[in-house]
């Protein structure tokens, strides 16, 4: 059979299992924030997630540092993201450097850099310790469950979105594949928070196809992190040689290939990175799992033999979700460029911030499909812009904005692209978020009309 062979699917009836004001598809950072924000604004919300847990890449992908949420000393992403940090701190599963230790300093670098809580965009050496949070994946799931549960979001796990229902140019619901068969969930407004733009693409919204490195993140246990850090700082020459070889074996990593987690003896490894793989191609995803595990086994054998502190290390787990950073990107009403992100361009309709950049509401709005918003890593941006503006906190900020925007649209009985953005900004600010309506001192202000 060639790839061009097809079969005809029989037409059939799909039961409607829910009707909600707002349907959010994807229970990752953006989707959780959208659902909670919508429910707290008084909407009935159904949140759909394909897997058995909430959190997306922040739990199933074991991406274990919340970063890109400060602009120097200013905390630029607040709202539901701050609440997530506080909730995880309360259960002892999140570590944040205290304010008094957030600066560039050799001793603080030694104390904090293996937590990954430094400003990796800074050119200052050592890079400043900053407001960032190292957390545990189960902590993210538990905090998400409590936020979603308390907000009375109707959560449906094990629900794999397969098709958008579109009538007269507007989305009216979605179809999910489940163990009980196909199910339809109808909504007055839908937020696509799948990360891969599954819903908007199915609904016919224009998009581009980006790609970036793919990573099989894993955790090692049995690590004596204190011994490893002593070796790093007290025998820098020997450390560098072993570290270089370890990185060669894993074949693609950032400078610090292992970072501490709140669990003693357990480190997370944001590697191996692999290129040339498409994050929505199941053959590529299958191959990523095999390639990744082979490289992890080779690395483990090497570090157990050579790296002080790792003598008794073992693999705790390889993340159940392959680390896909970028696939489809919305080609929306406004497309963020790399210059917008790196130039810290301020937009009058900014509704979310990342570290020092601003996201306009128009970048959450698809063209050609009504009643639909997007939030998260598939937002409307060029591939190069998205690479440096896709961290968990800004995705949560976009989600929070989308959830409140849906409420405003339904309250005012207007289309999502006709809401009063000033009211959205005011509401976000009133609930503790920073929509970016007040540009920071280092923002680039363009006076010209958008
Ligand atoms: C390896 C790696 C390292 C990273 N490092 C960092 C870091 O250190 N710090 C940081 O802040 N960010 C980091 N990022 C980026 C960050 O993890 C993501 O950009 C962020 O999680 C995106 O959030 P999201 O909600 O948009 O998407 P996702 O986290 O991808 O969540 C999407 C959710 O939708 C669900 N979903 C998808 N398709 C369907 C469907 N068809 N039906 C139902 N549900 C569906 C998924 O299961 C998932 O729960 C990293 C990313 C990767 C891959």
pLDDT of residue 4: 75
Q: ∠80-214-48 over CA atoms, to 5°?
A: 40
Q: Is 27's C-beta closer than 6 angstroms to any atom of ligand 1?
A: yes
Across the strands, what pairs with 268? 219, 259
Q: Closest residue (by CA) to atom 39 of ligand 1?
A: 194
Q: Whose CA is nearest to atom 50 of ligand 1?
A: 63
Query: Which DSSP category does 79 fall into?
Result: T
Domain segments of the chain as ranges: 16-60+142-211+328-445, 213-324
164 Cα: distance to centroid of ligand 1 (angstroms): 21
* Topology, domain 213-324: Alpha-Beta Plaits (3.30.70)
Question: How far does the centroid of ligand 1 lie from the alpha carbon of residue 58, in Å?
Answer: 6
Other Cβ atoms within 10 Å of 254 Cβ, number:
13
Low-confidence stretches of the chain (pLDDT beneath 50): 1, 449-450
Please enumerate in sequence order all residues whose Cβ is within 8 A of that of 120, keeping only pairs 6 or more positions apart, or say none. Answer: 67, 127
pLDDT of amino acid 16: 98
Predicted pLDDT at 446: 72
Tell me the CA end-to-end span of the chain in Å, nearest whole number.
51
Which pLDDT does position 92 carry in this prediction? Answer: 98
Euclidean distance between CA atoms 418 and 82, whole angstroms: 29
Distance 388 CA to ligand 1 centre (A): 14
Q: What topology does CATH give the domain 16-60+142-211+328-445? A: FAD/NAD(P)-binding domain (3.50.50)
Is the distance from the beta carbon of residue 31 to the nearest atom of ligand 1 less than 6 Å? Answer: yes
d(CA 57, CA 172): 28
Q: How high is the pLDDT of residue 338?
A: 98
User: What is the predicted pLDDT for the residue at 450?
Assistant: 45
Beta-sheet strands, E only, within 273-378: 273-274, 314-318, 323-324, 328-330, 345-346, 350-353, 358-360, 372-374
Buried b (16+ CB within 10 A) or exposed e, 281-313: eeebbebbeebbeebbeebbebbeeebbbbeeb
């Amino acid at each position: 059979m060639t790839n061009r062979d097809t079969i005809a699917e029989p037409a059939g009836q799909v039961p409607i299992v829910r009707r909600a004001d707002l349907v959010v598809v994807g229970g990752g950072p953006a989707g959780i924030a959208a659902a909670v924000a919508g429910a707290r604004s008084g909407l009935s919300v159904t949140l759909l997630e394909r897997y058995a847990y909430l959190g997306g890449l922040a739990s199933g992908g074991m991406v274990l540092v919340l970063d890109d949420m400060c602009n120097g000393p200013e905390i630029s992403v607040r709202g539901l993201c701050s609440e997530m940090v506080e909730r995880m701190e309360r259960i002892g599963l999140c570590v944040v450097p205290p304010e008094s230790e957030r600066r560039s300093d050799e001793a603080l670098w030694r104390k904090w850099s293996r937590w990954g809580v430094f400003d990796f965009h800074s050119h200052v050496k050592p890079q400043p310790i900053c407001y960032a949070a190292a957390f545990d994946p189960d902590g993210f799931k538990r905090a998400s469950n409590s936020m979603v549960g308390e907000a009375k979001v109707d959560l449906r796990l094990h629900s794999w979105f397969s098709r958008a229902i579109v009538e007269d140019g507007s989305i009216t619901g979605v179809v999910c594949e489940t163990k009980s068969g196909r199910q339809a969930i109808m909504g007055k407004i839908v937020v696509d928070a799948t990360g891969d733009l599954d819903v908007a693409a199915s609904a016919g919204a224009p998009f581009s196809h980006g790609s970036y490195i793919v990573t099989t993140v894993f955790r090692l246990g049995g690590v004596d992190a204190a011994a490893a850090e002593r070796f790093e700082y007290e025998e820098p020459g020997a450390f560098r040689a072993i570290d270089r070889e370890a990185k060669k074996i894993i074949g693609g990593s950032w400078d610090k290939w292992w970072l501490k987690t709140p669990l003693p003896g357990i480190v997370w490894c944001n590697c191996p990175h692999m290129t040339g793989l498409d994050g929505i191609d199941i053959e590529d995803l299958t191959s990523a799992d095999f390639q990744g595990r082979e490289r992890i086994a080779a690395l483990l054998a090497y570090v157990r033999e050579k790296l002080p502190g790792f003598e008794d290390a073992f693999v705790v787990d390889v993340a159940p979700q392959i680390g896909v950073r970028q696939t489809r990107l919305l080609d929306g009403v406004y497309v963020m460029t790399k210059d917008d992100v790196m130039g810290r361009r301020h937009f009058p309709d900014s509704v979310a911030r990342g570290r020092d950049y601003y996201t306009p509401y128009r970048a959450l709005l698809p063209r050609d499909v009504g009643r639909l918003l997007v939030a998260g890593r598939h937002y409307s941006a060029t591939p190069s812009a998205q690479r440096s503006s896709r961290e968990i906190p800004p995705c949560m900020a976009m989600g929070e904005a989308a959830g409140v925007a849906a409420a405003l649209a339904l309250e005012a009985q207007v289309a999502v692209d006709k809401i009063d953005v000033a009211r959205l900004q005011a509401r976000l600010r009133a609930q503790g978020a920073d929509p970016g309506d007040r540009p920071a001192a280092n923002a680039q202000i363009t006076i010209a009309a958008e």
